[in-house]
């Protein structure tokens, strides 16, 4: 009987640990999103963005499709799927932009890793055409590394997406 109590008690502690871990991950994700939005607000006024899961940004340096992800989502096999998904989404968005505006623009996919988790020391890594950066590097990428130069008329046409 005593062994059963110990097993039940241990299972309860284990379950509590899983719940606490999930709660920490949830709030870390919310904080990462909050920090990301604060960074976006520091961009020059010409940059417009819209959030819907991923973030679509249009500015003088191009059209960017940005997804926040955790280091664990990017590492190994899940990272290959994430990169493939970003390429598929950016291609679909490029096609939609072409259908709605007759503009043939590049949509640059970007995966953003949180600074606190990133043990890889890099500024910009390109994997199969997807830019991979740390969060604090977003303004530099968007302002200093153009995917494509867009004029004000083109940006005006893109307002239906942003």
pTM to 2 decimals? 0.76
Question: Which of 5-14, 73-82, 128-137 has the highest mean predicted lDDT (pLDDT)?
Answer: 128-137
Query: What does the pLDDT read at residue 134?
Result: 84
Task: Tell me which residue of 55, 52, 39, 18 sits closest to 135, measured CA to CA.
Answer: 39
Q: From CA 36, how far away is CA 107, in angstroms rounded? A: 20
Q: What is the mean pLDDT of residues 58-80?
A: 77
- Choose between 1 and 120: higher pLDDT: 1
Query: What does the pLDDT read at residue 92?
Result: 94
Q: What is the mean pLDDT of residues 59-75?
A: 80
């Amino acid at each position: 009987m005593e062994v059963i109590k110990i097993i039940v008690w241990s299972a309860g502690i284990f379950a509590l640990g899983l719940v606490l871990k999930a709660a920490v991950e949830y709030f870390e994700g919310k904080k990462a999103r909050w920090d990301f939005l604060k960074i976006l607000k520091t961009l020059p006024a010409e940059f417009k963005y819209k959030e819907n899961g991923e973030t679509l940004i249009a500015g003088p340096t191009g059209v960017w499709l940005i997804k926040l992800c955790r280091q664990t989502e990017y590492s190994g096999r899940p990272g290959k799927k994430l990169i493939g998904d970003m390429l598929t989404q950016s291609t679909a968005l490029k096609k939609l932009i072409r259908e709605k505006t007759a503009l043939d623009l590049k949509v640059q996919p970007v995966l953003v890793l949180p600074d606190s988790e990133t043990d890889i020391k890099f500024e910009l890594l390109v994997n199969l055409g997807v830019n991979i950066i740390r969060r604090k590097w977003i303004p530099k990428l968007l302002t200093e590394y153009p995917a494509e130069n867009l004029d004000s008329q083109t940006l005006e046409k893109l307002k239906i997406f942003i």
